[in-house]
Amino acid sequence: MSDWLQDWLPNEELHAPAVLVTVARVEGSVPREPGARMLVDARGFCGTIGGGHLEHRALEMARAMLEQGGGQAHIERFPLGPKLGQCCGGIAWLAFEMADAAQLALLDKRRNEDTWRIVHVGWAGLPPTRSTNGDVAAALPPVDRVGGEAAHPTSLLDAHGRLLAGGDAPPLDRTQGTHIFQDADNRLWLADAVLAPRAHLMLFGAGHVGAAIVRALAELPCRVTWVDERDELFPASVPANVTVEATDTPEVLVEKAPHGTTFLVMTHSHALDLQLSHAILSRPGAGDWFGLIGSSTKRRQFEHRLRERGIDAARLDAMVCPVGLPGIEGKAPAVIAASVAAQLLLVWEACARQPDVSTEFI
């Protein structure tokens, strides 16, 4: 789930008025991608749309909305070079809307599901949308047209394009992500894709390094299933993206894990590490990433024993051991965690660039 919501919920309720600022569309080089958000109230803000002058100006405008008692959702156009002096020089369209506490709470509950928010943000004709440089809606780039009735404002759709709030919705292309579209009546809508993280790590081991890795991944776009037989080792509270599994049959979780799961093995027992390694490398297909903590000596020993158990050379070659980025030699748990987290981000981002790769949810 996005950092703007994870920072806000469930740590505090949304009692005071707040403004949700969303990067709705971009052109050229900009600090953040469509779908980046921040939540602003009179006390502070959560999340970021990229920092710098753009974010500073957006905070001013959001707080002005709060001081004025709210207002209609709308789009603002920001040419970053000529108007804000930012060297990236692109154009960002930001959507400003009053936050809906019930909607945010529902999004928090659906953090592992893809969700669409549909928000009316202005008109393609009169009345015009506003712009920071005086342009009206004509300044918007061509937007997607959708025939038929428009979606209900401030509504939630499930991953199949169905409105959670009821009613019919125009068809939406999930591959577009957050974008602006225009209906047959020239109304402009923000289609905001709040996507569940595709990356899923199954982490075996609740020791010092495992705990450090969980902390390192707490605010990254992933889901973590944290597995150990020793229930007493798990902390009283874990990050929102973590699910704890205390079990003495961890190989069953390996068997049931969806295709494309990332596995990381670092238990307290070399015998258990070997058992899990065999279970992971015996899974059908080759869509999983498997990392095993240990030295080059441990790798050689495991390769020999796994080969004896029937694991072929290609699967053994794909086993990552030692784990972490090459060149980082520190052995402290936090150092290992930082190195492994960076390695996992490289793996997950490479996977995300593969259009045919899909990961099931559990």
Whether 150 and 233 map to the same domain: the answer is no
Domain around 242: 200-352
Share of the chain above pLDDT 90, in %: 51
In a domain, 357, yes or no: no
pLDDT at 102: 78
Whether 80 and 206 map to the same domain: the answer is no
Share of the chain above pLDDT 70, in %: 77
In a domain, 359, yes or no: no
Whether 160 and 280 map to the same domain: the answer is no
The residue-averaged pLDDT of 118-140 equals: 59
pLDDT grade, residue 153 (50/70/90)? Answer: very low
In a domain, 358, yes or no: no
Check which CATH number belongs to the domain holding 322 and give it: 3.40.50.720
Mean pLDDT of the chain: 82
Number of domains in the chain: 2
In a domain, 130, yes or no: yes
From 173, 194, 215, the end of a domain falls on 194
Statement: residue 52 has pLDDT above 60: yes
| SS3 readout for the chain | CCHHHHHHCCCCCCCCCCEEEEEEEEECCCCCCCCCEEEECCCCEEECCCCHHHHHHHHHHHHHHHHCCCCCCEEEEEEHHHHHCCCCCCEEEEEEEECCHHHHHHHHHCCCCCEEEEEEEEECCCCCCCCCCCCCHHHCCCCEEECCCCCCCCEEECCCCCECCCCCCCCCCHHHCCEEEEECCCEEEEEEEECCCCCEEEEECCCHHHHHHHHHCCCCCCEEEEEECCHHHCCCCCCCCEEEEECCCHHHHHHHCCCCCEEEECCCCHHHHHHHHHHHHCCCCCCCEEEECCCHHHHHHHHHHHHHCCCCHHHHHHCECCCCCCCCCCCCHHHHHHHHHHHHHHHHHHHHCCCCCCCCCC
How confident is the model over 181-225, as pLDDT tens digits? 887 778 888 888 888 888 999 999 999 999 999 999 999 999 999
